[in-house]
A = this chain, B = another copy of it.
Amino acid sequence: MDKALVQPPKGSRDFLPAELRKREHVTRIIRHVYEAHGFEPLETPAFERLETLMGKYGDEGDQLLFKILRRGQPLVDGLRQASELLSQPDAIVRGRSGETLPRAETMLADLGLRYDLTVPLARVYAAHQGVLPPVFKRYQIQPVWRADTPGKGRFREFYQCDVDVCGSSSLVVEAEVLDAAALCLKQLGFNDFTLRLNHRQLLRALIQVCEIDAANEADAITAIDKLDKIGRDGVDKELTTRGVSTTSRMKLLDVLAQGATLDRLQETLGGNELGKHAIGELREVLRLGGLTHAAAHLKFDPSLARGLGYYTGCIFEIQVADLTGSLGGGGRYDGLIGMFSGKQVPACGLSLGLERILVVMEERKMFPASLSPVDCLLAVVEDKDMDAALVVSRELRAAGFSVDVQTRSFKPGKLRQLAETRGVHYAVWIESDRRLEHKALGDSRETDALLVNTLNQVKIS
């Protein structure tokens, strides 16, 4: 056997039971909190039309899409067209920097694997306007796929847990979304997280006030987004490369320096209208959020920028001290749905990153001890009594126990040993005279009496 060939493909994972139970423990809590907040479940296909996905995540995002080969005649045609590109000298560009390869890709592929849960939501909302309530609150917990270089905590298949509200521009939405995220984290056992809060229009206002050319706005936001990764000097360098003047750079970096409060920013921005509006909204979100589970965790942070292009208002990111990168993030994006529906629809949401939450919970040993696989192992001492095992298992299951019937005979000692190894609380066996015996391992439980009572009532001889 070639060991490498039975491993899952690069960047993807098999989730064996013990690991999966931890994942399910987390998603169960998140799902429960989202439901309690009145969000309704949505699921979308694993693949979308390539034109739905392309151009939504920036050039780098387009490169990271997993693309699905056309089928039948369209593939034959696509192959012909793509091979014509090949006959042009120097037409095929290697690696990620070129243009020609993506062109060939779209001839050969028509679908792409879901890259996030926000673009599919925007498509769904546009498709079902009139059927969905005007204010649509949905949650979605599904995997997404990115052909990224795998690394620690970075996978090619990973889960996102999103909540979004489409169709309302009320700031109560921001407060509710932050409340839900905070309650999820608290119920998972986190107490030390920070909900960083900023506003895209505040960043734009800052860029205006610092006299950075409007054409450089996106670049400047990308650079600011890296402040906690590459530091002040790094951002300064990036801004220099983009041609931002020394005065502008210094001013911007000074304003972003730690400790910048809303009051101080208000002074800096003076009469700037965008800035006034953004600061007003931030104050209101901080006030409303202060009434929720998010209260103790909210922190205004003018250097928060969020990479994605589609944000238009408040933006948030969840941080804990012992993890570079965030446990989740989101914000308001009032333009995205309009790209599909042709009509402006306000929207705001937040995504919890399951994989990173799991990494931190694993390192901090935050999982409950009792994610037990099964309540009860059941075995016969002699093979001839196997039919009795089936009868007993049926009654135990009817009483609410999960039961793993052993398909071969066991000596009682061996069965108890197996139960102990697997962390199973009860071992039940059928002696050679069809007598039922049992042993509870570990601490006594409320269910002990129920087990004994059930076993007493089974008729097998």
Contacts and interface: CB of A to CB of B under 8 A. Distances in A.
A9 B145 CA distance: 17
Interface in A24-64: 24, 35-38, 40-49, 51-52
A168 to B, nearest CB: 4
A38 B73 contact: no
How many copies are assembled?
2
Interface of A: 1, 3, 5-9, 12-17, 20-21, 24, 35-38, 40-49, 51-52, 66-69, 71-73, 75-76, 79-80, 82-83, 86, 92, 94-96, 101, 104-105, 108-109, 111, 113, 123-124, 126-128, 131-133, 135, 137-138, 143, 145, 147, 157, 165, 168, 170, 172-173, 175-176, 179, 183, 287-288, 291-293, 340-343, 373-374, 386-387, 389-391, 393-394, 397, 401-408, 422
Contact of A389 (B69, B94, B165, B172): B172
Determine the main DSSP class of A at the interface with B: mixed
A394 B290 CA distance: 12
A143 B45 CA distance: 10
23 contacts: A1-B126, A1-B343, A3-B127, A6-B126, A6-B127, A6-B341, A8-B48, A9-B47, A9-B48, A9-B111, A14-B124, A21-B41, A38-B402, A38-B403, A46-B113, A68-B69, A69-B108, A76-B94, A168-B408, A173-B407, A175-B390, A179-B394, A292-B390
Contact of A394 (B51, B123, B293, B406): B293
B69 A40 contact: no
